């Protein structure tokens, strides 16, 4: 090769290198951000969006007391749904949709007085959910929900089913929900998210409540795990009610209170940097009508045990047995001798004290056994007076003295005068073993 040829080749090589060097920086600027929270855009770092609670006219509140009672009663259940018909990806030829879903470990209840209990909800695309509260006994331990639905519109559709609480909230547990796709006549590419792409289901069951408070709930399919370490946010959900927005990063339903009679609810699925993710499927809007007058049972602050059992399909609690009344004791008949009457009374053998001798003992009137001659009475009175004089002081010294409850004579009491002594001296008559005081003004018998 000659010198001229070599120079020409080198010139061409230099030109190519200049072109490549000039294009590379431009192409680097056009590299898009990776979904689910890439930290750089246009070679500049971006921060992950921080979740924030309700603000403005919104107020997050705790769940009503009745909701908490029912959730606690249903906590021991672990629902599992299995799709039997039609299978995922099936193509329907203009026929009705015959749905068959098997439900395990989840009661299906619709009480005539208290309303809807635990049930299964079915959502087609972004339409409001259809609710099923009854099923047939399956070959296993669960129930089989069967329903015939109108034919789907031509094209592709996505469906989701989930076990729901009485107030419509979806059970967030493995196996409690499922999703699949159906095609009417044929599949239409680009009209549904890819099988592994994230997409959101707006659960918010506005038709079950009365708007006070309002339940906001959702399901996100194919959402990657996040919050395993600080700053690894991969997705956010922006909730907007009547213009007031806030961000959440967990699939936990929330209760909010707002003074508006009706609400416009919007839910948007975002990546960790706050950018929309497939907004065609993940930006949904729903109008909540004004609250109704009827108040659901689960909105009460407290439910009775009987109402809780009826709403979850448990047997009614048995009332506590009342204590047995004591049987009345039989009254003894006239011919039955009483126990105390058969036992002879024990006579008091206690020797009377000195003070007790002053107490007159009454004698039954008309008792002839106490009568006697005046002479015998005088002799007995004289003998008794001599005995009492030896053991007792004269009546004149103690007749008017006060005696305390313990039997001690009050020494401060002055002795009676002679006139009082004469008036207070009784005449005692003894007849047999009884004693009878005699009035000195009356003649003796």
The confidence score (pLDDT) of residue 368 equals 47
Given a cut of 50, whether residue 48 has pLDDT beyond it is yes
Given a cut of 90, whether residue 184 has pLDDT beyond it is yes
Given a cut of 60, whether residue 278 has pLDDT beyond it is yes
- The token duo for 106 is 């989840």
CB 271 within 8 A of CB 278: no
Phi-psi region for residue 195, left (φ > 0), alpha (ψ -120 to 50) or beta? alpha
- The token duo for 422 is 């004469």
Name the least confident of 18-32, 147-161, 282-296: 18-32
Q: How many CA atoms lie within 13 A of 67 on its CB side?
A: 19
> Reduced to 3 states, what is the DSSP secondary structure of residue 365?
coil
Given a cut of 80, whether residue 142 has pLDDT beyond it is yes
Instruction: Name the percent of the chain lying above pLDDT 70.
Output: 59
- For the segment 143-166, the average pLDDT, to the nearest whole number, is 95
Where residue 237 falls among pLDDT bands split at 50, 70, 90? very high
The confidence score (pLDDT) of residue 374 equals 52
Given a cut of 70, whether residue 282 has pLDDT beyond it is yes
The confidence score (pLDDT) of residue 231 equals 66
Q: Where are the domains of the chain?
A: 59-312, 355-362+371-438
> pLDDT, tens digit, for every residue of 245-274?
899 988 899 998 876 767 789 999 998 888
- The token duo for 265 is 């609810």
Q: What is the CA radius of gyration of the chain?
A: 53
Distance CA 182, CA 185 (A): 10
In terms of Cα–Cα distance, which of 111, 427, 49 is closest to 274? 49
Given a cut of 60, whether residue 426 has pLDDT beyond it is no
The confidence score (pLDDT) of residue 435 equals 44
Distance CA 17, CA 15 (A): 5
Where residue 369 falls among pLDDT bands split at 50, 70, 90? very low
CB 19 within 8 A of CB 27: no
Distance CA 107, CA 133 (A): 8
Mean pLDDT of the chain: 74
The confidence score (pLDDT) of residue 239 equals 93
- For the segment 187-215, the average pLDDT, to the nearest whole number, is 86
Distance CA 218, CA 51 (A): 17
Q: Any residues with CB less than 8 A from the CB of 164 and at least 6 apart, and which?
A: 118, 119, 120, 121, 129, 131, 170, 171, 205
CB 49 within 8 A of CB 272: yes
**Residue 231 DSSP label:** T
Higher pLDDT pick, 103 / 427: 103
The confidence score (pLDDT) of residue 234 equals 82
Given a cut of 50, whether residue 295 has pLDDT beyond it is yes
Distance CA 441, CA 398 (A): 23
Given a cut of 50, whether residue 279 has pLDDT beyond it is yes
Distance CA 416, CA 408 (A): 18
* Among 111-120, 261-270, 402-411, the range of highest mean pLDDT: 111-120
- For the segment 337-361, the average pLDDT, to the nearest whole number, is 48
- The token duo for 136 is 């047939």
Q: Any residues with CB less than 8 A from the CB of 344 and at least 6 apart, and which?
A: none
Where residue 334 falls among pLDDT bands split at 50, 70, 90? low
Distance CA 421, CA 242 (A): 112
Q: Are strands 177-184 and 90-92 parallel, antiparallel or unpaired?
A: parallel
What architecture is the 59-312 domain classified under in CATH? Sandwich (2.60)
| Residue with tokens 């045990």, as numbered in its chain | 305
Given a cut of 70, whether residue 92 has pLDDT beyond it is yes
Distance CA 440, CA 259 (A): 104
In terms of Cα–Cα distance, which of 269, 283, 265, 249 is closest to 51? 249
Residues facing 45 on adjacent strands: 40
The confidence score (pLDDT) of residue 366 equals 45
| CA–CA distances in Å: residue 334 to residues 222, 331, 338, 344 | 92, 9, 9, 20
The confidence score (pLDDT) of residue 86 equals 94
Higher pLDDT pick, 77 / 213: 77
């Amino acid at each position: 090769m000659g010198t001229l040829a070599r120079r020409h080749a080198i010139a061409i090589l230099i030109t190519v290198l200049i072109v490549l060097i000039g294009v590379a920086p431009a192409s680097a600027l056009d590299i898009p951000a990776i979904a689910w929270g890439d930290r750089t855009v246009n070679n500049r770092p971006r921060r992950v969006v921080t979740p924030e609670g309700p603000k403005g006219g919104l107020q997050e509140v705790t769940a009503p007391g009745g909701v908490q009672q029912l959730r606690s009663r249903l906590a021991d259940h672990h629902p599992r749904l299995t799709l039997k018909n039609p299978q995922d990806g099936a193509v329907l030829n203009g026929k009705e949709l015959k749905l068959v879903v098997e439900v395990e470990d989840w009661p299906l209840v619709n009480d005539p007085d208290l309303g809807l209990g635990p049930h299964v909800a079915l959502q087609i695309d972004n339409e409001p959910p259809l609710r099923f509260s009854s099923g047939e006994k399956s070959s296993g331990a669960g129930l089989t929900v069967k329903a015939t639905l109108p034919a789907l519109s031509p094209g592709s559709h996505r469906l989701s089913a989930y076990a729901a609480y009485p107030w419509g909230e979806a059970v967030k547990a493995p196996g409690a929900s499922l999703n699949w796709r159906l095609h009417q006549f044929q599949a239409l590419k680009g009209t549904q998210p890819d099988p592994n792409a994230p997409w959101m289901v707006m659960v918010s069951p506005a038709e079950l409540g009365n708007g006070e408070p309002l339940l906001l709930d959702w399901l996100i399919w194919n959402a990657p795990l996040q919050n395993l370490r600080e700053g690894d946010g991969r997705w956010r959900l922006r909730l907007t009610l009547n213009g007031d927005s806030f961000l959440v990063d967990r699939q936990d339903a929330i209760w909010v209170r707002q003074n508006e009679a009706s609400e416009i609810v919007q839910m948007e699925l975002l990546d960790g940097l706050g950018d929309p993710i497939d907004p065609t499927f993940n930006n949904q809007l729903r109008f909540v009508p004004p609250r109704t007058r009827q108040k659901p049972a689960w909105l009460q602050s407290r439910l009775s045990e009987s109402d809780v059992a009826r709403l979850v399909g448990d047997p009614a609690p048995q009332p506590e047995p009342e204590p047995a009344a004591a049987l009345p004791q039989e009254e003894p008949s006239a011919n039955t001798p009483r126990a105390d009457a058969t036992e002879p009374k024990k006579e008091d053998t206690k020797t009377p004290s000195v003070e007790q001798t002053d107490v007159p003992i009454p004698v039954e009137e008309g008792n002839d056994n106490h009568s006697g001659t005046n002479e015998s009475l005088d002799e007995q009175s004289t003998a008794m007076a001599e005995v009492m004089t030896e053991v007792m002081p004269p009546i004149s010294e103690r007749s008017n003295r006060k005696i305390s409850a313990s039997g001690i004579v009050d020494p401060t009491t002055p002795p009676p005068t002679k006139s009082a002594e004469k008036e207070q001296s009784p005449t005692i008559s003894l007849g047999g073993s009884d004693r009878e005081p005699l009035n000195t003004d009356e003649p003796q018998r």
